[in-house]
Amino acid sequence: MSNATQPYSGSKATHVYNIAGSLQVTVNEKDNPFELPISSLFHMAARNNPKRSFLFVSKLLGKHIPIDPHTSLLAGYALAVLLCRHLQPERSAEWEPLLQQTMKGLTDPAEAASVYRKLIADRLQVSVPLKLLGFAETATALGHAMFDAFESAATYLHTTRELLADRESVLQFDEEHSHAVAHRCYAERSDYWANDEIVVFVDDEMTTGKTTLNLIRDMHAKFPRKRYVVASLLDWRSVAAEDAFAALESEFGITIETICLYRGTIEVSGEAFPNGAPQGLLNSSAADSDEIGNDRTGRPEYRVHTLESVFEPVEAVSLDLAGSSNAAPYMKQTGRFGIAAEERGHAEAAIQRAAAQLEKLRTDSGGGGGGGGGKTLVIGTGEFMYVPMQMAAALKGSVYYQSSTRSPIHPVDRADYAVKDGVTFASPDDEGVRHFLYNLGAHTYDDVFVVLERVTPMERLEPMLEALKYIDCKTIHVVCCTGEPELGERPASKQKKPDQRAASRDPRVAKLFERTMKPPVPLGSYDAADVTFLLKDLRDAKLEVPTEDREEAIQSGVHYSEMLPKEYEPSERYLELYRKTLDESAALVAGGIAAVAELIVRKRGLNCVLVSLARAGTPVGVLIKRYIEQRYGVSLPHYSISIIRGKGIDENALLYILQQHGVEASIQFVDGWTGKGAIRRTLMEACRQFEDKYGVRLSDDLAVLADPGRCSETFGTREDYLVPSACLNATVSGLMSRTVLKPGLIGSDDYHGSKFYEQWLSIDESKRFVDRIAAHFEAIAQTAVGCADGHAQAESPEATWQGLADIQAVQQAFGIEDINLIKPGVGETCRVLLRRVPWKILVNRMDNPHLGPILMLAEERGVPVEVFPGLAYSCCGIIKPLKGESA
């Protein structure tokens, strides 16, 4: 197995950290080749994150602790030299002295600046071209510093949490233990990954390595190559986690090699704050306080500056969590859009010009920056770390660097605790994102420079400025690196429409961003991680109509989507039969889910957006998402939206999804099963109309669990068997009603509506249904993979619409004028019996094992059952004609 740091030191030290309360972390040292004091690498703190309750607070990154910026730059250089030694071991005699110098600078902050300047003056030469990818948010600067250590033959790109409306994310993956999981990757060059160069992933630490594995799966599906390297400061992977790397190597026929400064395993026990966390974090809206700066003489002075014509802008449009667009330019020099070694000269010159402007602003600098100013703190913001770090390194005198972060940590004012104080505020770039800044009381400063990448209106700076009042300093400077000379709202004549770049491809695309769709409200009984319902909450609307009255209204011309059938609590007898059927068919359903999920992965990779069609498609979408997450370690976004026969799909919901995931988002529609194919035809027409209106082509491919009607090309099976979720209406569909589109109730900016039957939580079966089927995934995964591989290698099955021909034969045999009164398939027949006025049930044979609940329901409602020989479906339900039709 190749994923291990070499050489091993053989050190077996154990370190025990009593963090807070009973929370204890034990570090078992496995590899410390440079005999670094562990105290020089990190401190410990308790984190407000249920996925991981503690944090290694790095003393090398310049994130949570203010440090000499050269220390952070040296950390990146250290990984670069380690990589050189790893790739070219025959030159070890050349690398070892450099490593020893680097370690000297890392362990002695007084030496950091001189060591770094000496080393960077003679950059490293590598024998093979490299592509470095830094992980947001913490490792963007670490990766850039590592890249900057190479003289040539290297390019750098970093991932981002930000969503750009006018660009396609070429890679997308999740960091599962993080507070903000989604990573995106926007390369300016479309061919950035189009070669087989070694890819080096850079992160500050690996705990399980799942983030890296998620990325490799996505990358290998799109841009396969043979060799990957993971560079991290700390490697905490367990034996099981290392085995997962080896398994992926074997699966793809690749090598995944790892390098790090320190390697060990961790054991966690206890809880930090069982009785509630201390209120050590100050909110920007809090009243004035001296809790952080103890010897303050008053609030600092604030100044706002823009660096004019210093950095090269990159035009892009971002969307915040509320869907608001921002067309302020980004910077070329950050690595967000990719940067090559040959572009370094321009970047360095720009950073030096920027630092010279900051030098002039420093207190006691004499106006010309001749002797350096007083003690200074430079603060980067979020992912924007490396350029402010280099600007800090270029300043003279006593200069510290740190950055704001999304990571929520519990401050505790204790000598052996890493985070002693902190403030939180709304991010200047996105009011829906909380930023945090820690250890503000570590020093007293003359000047504090907060460096922003993009121009920001003054009102969006105010929460941050209010938080920074707790720093004990004389002057706080806010510095915007790109944008207009004046901060505030840009003049209307200079505003960029959020869709200008996209509109250059097709002017119709501009319509996608004319209206910003409202964020969804929480609905349904599923876990929030399973699905987001893009539906209007109609729980207080009076929409239920008795079954007979509803049937008469529908057959008289009232659209079915303008009213709801009255739903009843299932009888105990039927509920027992449902559960028995679920137990008997769970493995069968799981096999179908696995098969269709594997087909989706092969068709669309691991970067698609699941969009289930409410409500029959919702539980199937949840199961597909669960399977892919369990099998591939990737959590796909999943939305459930409305589509209505005769009216179309919810256009507003599609706009929201594209505004969140970009116009190039790969959407996979999902439904439960097919009958006559009416929903598939509605979807096909809706996608055609959407393209005509917005210039965006959506795939009308409909992935279904069961396709007895032969209406889909992406299916788990074409057998017509009972999908238990068809039986219980809302109580197995997240407690959501059918979708509603009624004039006067649904406005032009609303999503289609649905009722949330929250009062039935005590009898809800939705989660049990999903959990019961998902329990079979591991056992059937390999079979599903084999079936999908065979399916992918063969010609794709066509949608023949054979089922429709069978239903037309039924229509003719019984003289039924309206074909919509015939509902084929077990699922649709269930619906007829549960919420329509049934006339009769046709079955292919009475001994069909899938018909138990159908026959029971028919008996309860007194509906005759007849055998119809040659029927392609297991059964079909015929709705009673109420307008004098012959039958």
Whether the predicted pLDDT of 471 surpasses 50: yes
User: Are 787 and 810 in the same domain?
Assistant: no
Q: Which domain holds residue 840?
A: 802-879
Structural domain includes residue 563: no
Structural domain includes residue 293: no
Distance CA 101, CA 116 (A): 9
Structural domain includes residue 526: no
The DSSP-derived string for 799-810 is ---HHHHHHHHH
The string of pLDDT tens digits covering residues 821-860 is 999 988 889 878 877 889 999 999 998 888 888 898 899 8
- For 628, residues 6+ apart whose C-beta sits below 8 A from its C-beta are 597, 600, 601, 606, 634, 636
- 862, two tokens: 């007194």
φ/ψ of 270, rounded to 5, equals 85, -175
Give start and end residues of each alpha helix (H) in 194-288: 210-222, 239-252
Q: From residue 775, give the alpha-carbon distance in Å to each of 26, 246, 382, 491.
A: 33, 25, 39, 58
Residue type, 319: L
For 883, which DSSP code? Answer: S
pLDDT, average across residues 24-40 = 91
The string of pLDDT tens digits covering residues 275-331 is 666 666 666 544 344 445 444 456 788 888 888 779 989 999 888 776 678 889 999
User: Are 128 and 210 in the same domain?
Assistant: yes
Please report the pLDDT score of residue 571 as a whole number.
73
Among residues 429, 441, 356, 435, which one has the least CA distance to residue 390?
Answer: 356
HEC letters along 162-205: CEECCCCCCEEEECCCCCCCEEEECCCCCCCCCCCCEEEEEEEE
User: Are 871 and 827 in the same domain?
Assistant: yes
User: Are 267 and 320 in the same domain?
Assistant: no
Please report the pLDDT score of residue 496 as a whole number.
35
The string of pLDDT tens digits covering residues 698-717 is 999 999 999 988 899 999 98
Q: Rounded to 5 degrees, what angle do the CA atoms 292, 294, 299 make?
A: 75
Residue type, 636: L
Residue type, 763: I
pLDDT band of residue 372 (cuts 50, 70, 90) is: low
Domain boundary among 793, 822, 852: 793
Give start and end residues of each alpha helix (H) in 265-397: 344-361, 386-394
User: Are 576 and 477 in the same domain?
Assistant: no
- 598, two tokens: 């594997």
Give start and end residues of each alpha helix (H) in 20-165: 69-87, 92-107, 109-120, 140-148
Of all residues in the chain, the percent with pLDDT exceeding 70 is: 88
Structural domain includes residue 887: no
Among residues 590, 865, 821, which one has the least CA distance to residue 725?
Answer: 590
Whether the predicted pLDDT of 403 surpasses 70: yes
Please report the pLDDT score of residue 831 as a whole number.
78
pLDDT band of residue 783 (cuts 50, 70, 90) is: confident
Determine contact, residues 636/670, Cβ cutoff 8 Å. Answer: no
- 13, two tokens: 């030290």
User: Are 686 and 732 in the same domain?
Assistant: yes
Distance CA 383, CA 139 (A): 8
Among residues 264, 279, 266, 268, which one has the least CA distance to residue 22?
Answer: 268
Distance CA 373, CA 366 (A): 8
Residue type, 19: I
User: Are 820 and 774 in the same domain?
Assistant: no
Domain boundary among 775, 793, 811: 793
Lowest mean pLDDT among 466-475, 861-870, 875-884: 875-884
Determine contact, residues 509/502, Cβ cutoff 8 Å. Answer: yes
pLDDT, average across residues 452-462 = 89
Residue type, 637: P
Determine contact, residues 710/509, Cβ cutoff 8 Å. Answer: no
Structural domain includes residue 454: yes
Whether the predicted pLDDT of 429 surpasses 50: yes
Q: From residue 522, give the alpha-carbon distance in Å to each of 734, 736, 800.
A: 12, 12, 39
| Strand 227-235 versus strand 198-206 pairing type | parallel
Structural domain includes residue 762: yes
The string of pLDDT tens digits covering residues 555-609 is 888 888 889 988 877 777 768 778 887 888 899 999 999 999 999 988 888 879 9
Distance CA 99, CA 81 (A): 7
| Average pLDDT score, the chain | 86
CATH number for 234: 3.40.50.2020
The DSSP-derived string for 360-426 is HHSTTSTTTTSS--SSEEEEEBTTB-HHHHHHHHHS-SSEEEEE-BS--B-----TT-S---EEEEE
The string of pLDDT tens digits covering residues 253-273 is 999 999 999 999 999 999 888
Number of independent structural domains in the chain: 4
CATH number for 817: 3.30.1330.30
pLDDT, average across residues 45-63 = 87
Q: Which residue has the higher pLDDT, 290 or 251?
A: 251
Q: From residue 580, give the alpha-carbon distance in Å to each of 588, 673, 723.
A: 14, 21, 13
CATH number for 332: 3.40.50
Domain boundary among 445, 471, 498: 498
The string of pLDDT tens digits covering residues 716-743 is 988 888 787 777 788 899 999 999 999 8
φ/ψ of 205, rounded to 5, equals -155, 155
Structural domain includes residue 720: yes
Determine contact, residues 635/625, Cβ cutoff 8 Å. Answer: yes
User: Are 634 and 765 in the same domain?
Assistant: yes
Distance CA 706, CA 708 (A): 6
User: Are 807 and 789 in the same domain?
Assistant: no
Q: Rounded to 5 degrees, what angle do the CA atoms 614, 619, 624 make?
A: 115
The DSSP bridge partners found for residue 265 are 28
Of all residues in the chain, the percent with pLDDT exceeding 90 is: 53
The string of pLDDT tens digits covering residues 181-238 is 567 889 888 788 888 899 999 999 999 898 899 889 888 888 899 999 999 999 999 9
Give CA 308 to chain center in angstroms: 35
For 312, half-sphere exposure in the C-beta direction (CA atoms, 13 angstrom radius) is 14
Structural domain includes residue 346: yes
Determine contact, residues 163/318, Cβ cutoff 8 Å. Answer: yes
Determine contact, residues 638/629, Cβ cutoff 8 Å. Answer: no
The string of pLDDT tens digits covering residues 119-158 is 999 999 998 999 999 998 899 999 999 999 999 999 999 9
Lowest mean pLDDT among 168-172, 422-426, 624-628: 168-172
pLDDT, average across residues 105-118 = 94
User: Are 808 and 771 in the same domain?
Assistant: no
Q: Which residues of 57-96 are buried (b: 16+ CB within 10 A; e: fewer)?
A: bbbbbbbbbbbbbbbbbbbbbbbbbbbbbbbeeeeeeebe
pLDDT, average across residues 607-623 = 94
User: Are 333 and 353 in the same domain?
Assistant: yes
Whether the predicted pLDDT of 474 surpasses 50: yes
Distance CA 673, CA 708 (A): 8
Whether the predicted pLDDT of 665 surpasses 50: yes
Distance CA 675, CA 801 (A): 10
Q: From residue 761, give the alpha-carbon distance in Å to each of 262, 449, 567, 615.
A: 49, 52, 14, 17
From the CB of residue 800, how many other CB atoms can be counted at a distance below 10 Å?
11
HEC letters along 505-559: HCHHHHHHHCCCCCCCCCCCCCCCCCCEECCEECCCCCCEECHHHHHHHHHCCCC
Distance CA 711, CA 86 (A): 54
Determine contact, residues 423/467, Cβ cutoff 8 Å. Answer: yes
User: Are 260 and 145 in the same domain?
Assistant: yes
Residue type, 337: F
